[in-house]
Structure 1
Amino acid sequence: MNCGKACAIFEQLKSDKYSENEKLTAIKEVFDMPTHNGITKDKILSAFRWLFERAVEDVEPEEAEEQSRSRGEENEHAK
């Protein structure tokens, strides 16, 4: 995927026009770009939100926080 197409998809992550795989590829391409001057902070935060929603789509916010705390405790015990 070229940089232009990646940026275009990155700007439209909420669109149904692109597959989830295309969106993930575009995000990786944008992350790998040497500079991000043409991308607004809002678009970057939107991408983080999109990724986060997919990562925890089946977990309620309270459960996610509890699981996060639990993982933190497990990491402390592993040290």
Structure 2
Amino acid sequence: MTTDEFVELLLAPPERWALVKRFVAHWHEPLREGQGYAASELDAAERRLGFPLPVALREWYQLAGQRRARAPPTGTWPRPATRAG
């Protein structure tokens, strides 16, 4: 795969998430239904925040936003309506 093909894949949903799913399944446990937030939950979070989430971040929250994470020290990703600071 060329660099241009790889970049094109990453920028084209839902294909970009297929690559992420394969990566996660290989290195961790596969992503499963029910590990993300519903669109209505994210809509409500955006209303509370007063701005829309970036598209890729919203897609990630829908895919795996409630999944137990290994990277963050808290063990989970912050809820989408949480603001730092």
TM-score (norm 2): 0.27
Highest Rg: 1 or 2? 1
